[in-house]
Amino acid sequence: MTPLPQRPRLGFFVSHRGSNMRAIVSACQTGALAADPALLISNNRSSAALSWAAENGLPHVHLSPKSSGSEESLDQAHLDKLQEAGADLIILAGYMRKIGPKVLSAFSNRILNIHPALLPKYGGQGMYGHHVHEAVVANRESESGVTVHLVDGEYDTGPIVAQATVPVLPADTPDDVAARVLVQEHLFFSETLIRIVSGEIDLDALG
């Protein structure tokens, strides 16, 4: 892969709320993260992430298998939009679908996902959102956390880039854990991106 530019352009994929995307955009705006938000792609026409992008001047597009006609055309449409936007790094932040083979190959070692647990525990198909935190509490874990990992063709299986832990207290409900993890996510995704952009983390050494 070509090295990341000094100031990479970020392409986001988000399905729903988009709070992690907003935290990263904010880190770009404050100057903490030397990167430029370039595009939001969402499969969900009524997502809060798309509304926020529209209100805040972030280029955005709704693309789904239905609107594109097939999974293959959707993959091509994703690739076209990302290339038009000049994206260098792709950020999956609550994107509920798999990324297609064309985008995976064009952006090899350049696609990151955030997962609200310490992978490889509590990952894979069906392990998303509240299901993750329910399982963590049901198993009486004493800690959970955040994983940023490279994306491959499966759910939550690519090489781990960085992890941060949060405590799970005996009286915690899944909502308590979710809230604690989300606070950590908002800090940790940007911190990890800062380390990637500075060259401290070399994605090509992981993938």
Site for ligand GRF, rule CB under 6 A? 14, 16-20, 93-94, 114-116, 182, 185
**Which C-beta is closer to ligand GRF: that of 94 or that of 174?**
94
CB of 54 to ligand GRF, least distance (A): 16
| Residue 115 appears among annotated catalytic residues | yes
SS (H, E, C) the chain: CCCCCCCCEEEEECCCCCHHHHHHHHHHHHCCCCCEEEEEEECCCCCHHHHHHHHCCCCEEECCHHHHCCHHHHHHHHHHHHHHCCCCEEEECCCCCCCCHHHHHHCCCCEEEEECCCCCCCCCCCCCHHHHHHHHHHCCCCEEEEEEEECCCCCCCCCEEEEEEEECCCCCCHHHHHHHHHHHHHHHHHHHHHHHHCCCCCHHHCC
CB of 69 to ligand GRF, least distance (A): 27
**Which C-beta is closer to ligand GRF: that of 14 or that of 38?**
14
CB of 20 to ligand GRF, least distance (A): 3
**Which C-beta is closer to ligand GRF: that of 44 or that of 68?**
44
CB of 128 to ligand GRF, least distance (A): 6
Q: Which residue among 16, 60, 78, 115 is the active-site one?
A: 115
- For 127, residues 6+ apart whose C-beta sits below 8 A from its C-beta are 117, 135, 155, 156
**Which C-beta is closer to ligand GRF: that of 2 or that of 126?**
126
Annotated active-site positions, please? 115
